[in-house]
Structure 1
């Protein structure tokens, strides 16, 4: 049984599209400050595994705006609460207008998996606690040795990333949540899509699909 650390039933339903047995677990892990999603999700997965004692999934996601060097990124939830979604959209479009560029952005999601065991080498990153695994290039990840030393007290965490590109527009649509109304993909904002349409192209769905392929052979 996989335990998905979330209180969002929508995430669980999305995960069930790719995985047979998933159970939501409410666990308040430490959310470290980082400029990348990987270390945040990996830390959460370690704490969740220690708490649950069974295989766990933790995800972290954010909106990365090209014109702001990826900001708000891992700080998306905080920025949504303090600045607001519409204001982020206004700033991104204003910046794009100043530079003559299209206000492009991408949603990214990193899923962290931990079951207390090590992992065979694959193209997906492994976080060993000291972030060496996470910082490897894609080529190095594929050839990384499973005999690499592990920091005392840490367990390896496997990371899976999904992303979807689009552009920032005036808010449209009544569905979704968060930044969905200002994020347009192929002419439609995520807030204008049905749940099925959104799940089919979502950053989380793509990360889950990659994880599901790995987990089927785990």
Structure 2
């Protein structure tokens, strides 16, 4: 069984449409490290979750990257949503930018404790935490990092005034092809979203794992 590590049931529903009954939610509060990119955050979480569950795990990290703000809020999207609110981000874009273009990005990190064959998708092998915890006097095999396979999905759009009652997070203010994510039904959104695109790539690879 593959454990999707999240407290958000909406993410699990999106994952189920690609992975079916192969996936189940794991409610585990892993450490969200501070980083300028999504990949190391997701990889760290996947390693920590795998050590906790001792089962194959999938962790995602996603963010809204506004072009005119050099990608802000990016990896800090959840923090900005919790502290300032989605509406504040939309108003800031409206007030400060002539160009409201932005993109959603999602990185899925998979860890099952085993190595991966080479492929176009990146593998994160930098597990500084495990090495530091083991110490210099421990056997080298105990400091080997847990490899984490990464899959990315990106969707381009623009920031607009909030519309729609569906979705979660920044969905009401992110417009793609004339509709916000919050205006789309779950199936439609999942077919074009950043998470859906990452899940599709992961699902194709996982079927051969």
Q: Please, what TM-score do these two structures have when normalized by structure 1?
A: 0.86
SS of equivalent to 1:79: helix
Structure 2: segments with no counterpart, 5+ residues: 129-139
Runs of 4+ in 1 over 6 A off after TM superposition: none
Partner in structure 2 of residue 55 of structure 1: 56
Q: Take 1:120 and 1:94, find their aligned partners in 2: how far apart are those partners?
A: 48
> Which residue matches 2:24?
23
Mapping of residues 70-89 of structure 1, within 5 Å: 70-89=71-90
Q: Could you report, residue by residue, the CA deviation over 1:20-47 in whole angstroms, capped at 9, with x for unpaired residues? A: 4111111111110001000000000001
Give the SS at the match of 1:17: helix
The whole-number CA distance in structure 2 between the counterparts of 1:150 and 1:36 is 29
Structure-1 separation of matches of 2:2 and 2:61: 17
Residue 184 in 1 paired to residue 181 in 2? no
Deviations 1:41-88 (A, max 9, x none): 000000111111111000010100000110001100110111211111
1:111 matches 2:108: yes
* CA RMSD after TM alignment: 1.7
Tell me the residue number matched to 1:141: none
Residues 112 and 211 of structure 1: CA distance in aligned 2, closer, same or farther (over 3 Å): same
TM-score, length-scaled by structure 2: 0.89
Per the TM alignment, residue 118 of structure 1 is displaced from its structure 2 partner at its CA by: 1.0
Give yes or no for contact 1:128–1:151 (8 Å, CA) kept in 2. no
Point out the more displaced range, 149-158 or 42-51: 149-158
Q: CA deviation at 1:170?
A: 1.1
- Extract unaligned runs of 5+ from structure 1: 132-148
For residue 200 of structure 2, what is the aligned residue in structure 1? 209
8 Å CA contact retained: 1:128, 1:150: no
Q: Is the 8 A contact 2:127 2:146 kept in 1?
A: no
State the 1:151 CA deviation: 9.3
Question: Contact between 1:129 and 1:151, CA under 8 Å: does it hold in 2?
Answer: no
For these two proteins, the number of residue pairs brought into alignment is 197
Q: Compute the displacement of 1:3 (Å).
A: 0.7
Aligned pairs for 1:68-147 (under 5 A) are 68-97=69-98, 102-129=99-126
Of 203-212 and 3-12, more deviation after overlay is shown by 3-12
1:7 is displaced (CA, Å) by 2.2
